[in-house]
Amino acid sequence: MNARNQRNAEHTPAGRTLPVRSAAKTDAHPQRAIGLGAVLLLAATAGGLLVMLWPNIMAHTGSGSNSTREQNAPLVGVGEPPSGNQTNPSSALHSGTALTAKPVAQSEPAPEIRQLVDSLVRLQPPNGVLTDQFATSWNENLQRLIQLGPGAIPAIQEFLAKDLDYVFGAAGRQFLGYTSARAAMFDALAQIGGPQAVAAMSTTLQTTADPREIALLAQDLESLEPQQHNDEVLNAARQALALASSHKYETADPAPLFEVFEKYGGAAMASELVKSAGEWNYYATMALAQLPEGAGIPGLVQIAEDPKAAGATREAALQMLAQASDKSPEARAALVAQARQNAISEFAWSILAPMLGGNQVGFVNSAFEHPDGLPHLGGLRTTSTSDNQNFFSVPGNLNSEQVGQRITLMNDLLAVTSNPAAKELLQQWKDSLSVRFPASVAGL
């Protein structure tokens, strides 16, 4: 069994049962601007008081629309602590710690606009239950805020600078279109547009360490000013990943950071992703496989052939080489070479054979491919590792050329491997391709 301790389970999407409660998340983490020493000192002195005073807010962890921790429950009134709420040293400090990043110069928010923002971020539906009528009124108010244009930005930025969030959850996504207050305010800034909105987003990007928020802000900045913010987005993602890799705090799923590396770093990120594969074996290799024009394939081959690489890292690289094999002759050649040398473990065969058989893997908590939640697809399976990596596999829809390439590669692997378990797996998945794509296989 892989040392990464995989555990597979059929994916069950979040339900739509109402009412729902805004729940504080437990995967909060500090901003990059907060010194670790200060975090520990302040946590020690303030922890007890914070437990008593915690309102119906959470330390900022982003929208988390795909979080597996998201639950359905009644919305509680503002100021009422959700049941089972927890704090930790990292999440307890945001509301009371000054940021080192300088905020963009702004005028004092007009009281009525501040009140409008407050009504949008702190949901208070009648009886704590979201309804269509409440959602209509809320969305009308959001449009009012957006129509104020730059005049609304000081109040929005004031809320974001507090580094607090109100979690709307699955019902919020269903009725309002957002799972959190901060996600709604990001979208409002994007719709307002202009230099002030860009400056507000950029400021928030400098002070958030939440992976999903970094990805959301990256997309919004790209839509407003294409290719002008890549460096600051990548730097934010690097710092957030360093925090997650420190293991000093419970952090949110870093999957969106690897998507940011892939989409805004391009081929130049290959060497960095190779280095990070030792810590994030699945996420880094998945990002390498998705780099444009096959730029990450040499890195995957390097990992797979490195005798000093950890077994789990090599196995993940082999799995992604299998997924990329229908697009890359280099990936196919590397797999055949490793099989000929009997350098593929039985576990590696068990995860790469399904890829050859047409399965594809992706990030469960993607901020790009399925921002509204992972769809419930036939054959979908999710995997979570002990080190906070969450991904899914699902049967892909292959064309005739892809099917032919995979059949040919499996025949080549069957010819060179001496591993009986590998031969059995390869034949099994080769047969599955014949069942799923009979017309394509018949034409070979």
pLDDT tens, 251-270?
Answer: 899 999 999 999 999 999 99
Residue 185 pLDDT > 50, yes or no? yes
Give the pLDDT of residue 101: 35
Mean pLDDT of 332-352: 97
More confident residue, 247 or 184: 184
Could you report the per-residue pLDDT of 277-299, keeping only the tens digit for each? 999 999 999 999 999 999 999 99
**pLDDT attached to residue 235:** 97
pLDDT at 316 over 90: yes
Beta-carbon contacts of 263 under 8 Å, excluding residues fewer than 6 positions away, are: 218, 368
Overall average pLDDT of the 16-39 stretch: 33
> What pairs with residue 10 in β-bridges?
381
CA pseudo-torsion sign 74, 75, 81, 87: positive
Q: Domain locations in the chain?
A: 18-252, 304-444
Q: Is the peptide bond before 19 cis (omega within 30 degrees of 0)?
A: yes
DSSP-assigned states of every residue in 285-323 = HHHHHHSGGGTTHHHHHHHHH-TTS-HHHHHHHHHHHHH
151-165, 219-233, 358-372: which range is least confident on average?
358-372
pLDDT band at 106 (very low <50, low <70, confident <90, very high): low
Specify the residue for token string 């805020």. Answer: 145
pLDDT over 80 (residue 199): yes
Query: For the residues 149-173, what does the mean pLDDT come to?
Result: 94
Cβ–Cβ < 8 Å for 117, 159: yes
What number is the average pLDDT over the span 310-324?
97
Q: How far is Cα 166 from Cα 389, in angstroms, rounded to an integer?
A: 25
Q: Looking at 89-93, 129-133, 189-193, 229-233, which range is the least confident one?
A: 89-93
pLDDT at 259: 98
Q: Would you say 260 and 237 are in contact if contact means Cβ atoms under 8 Å apart?
A: yes
Identify which has the larger pLDDT, 442 or 358. 358
Question: Which of 123-132, 141-150, 306-315 has the weakest average pLDDT?
Answer: 123-132
Q: Taking a C-beta distance cutoff of 8 angstroms, is the pair 259, 215 a contact?
A: yes
Residue 360: CB atoms within 10 Å: 14
Confidence of residue 441 (pLDDT cuts 50, 70, 90): confident
- Average confidence (pLDDT) over 181-197: 97
Within its chain, how far is the Cα of 426 from the centroid? Answer: 32
**Distance, CA of 182 to CA of 60 (rounded, Å):** 9
Q: Kindly tell me if the per-residue pLDDT of 146 is higher than 90.
A: yes
pLDDT exceeds cutoff 90 at 102: no
**What was the pLDDT predicted at 332?**
97
Task: Name the least confident of 8-17, 155-164, 170-179, 337-346.
Answer: 8-17
Mean pLDDT of 64-88: 31
CA distances 146 to 28, 154, 400, 409, Å, are 29, 12, 48, 54
- Rounded Cα distance, 258 and 173, in Å: 24
Mean pLDDT of the chain: 80
pLDDT at residue 394, as a whole number: 94
Q: How far apart are CA 22 and CA 37, in angstroms?
A: 31
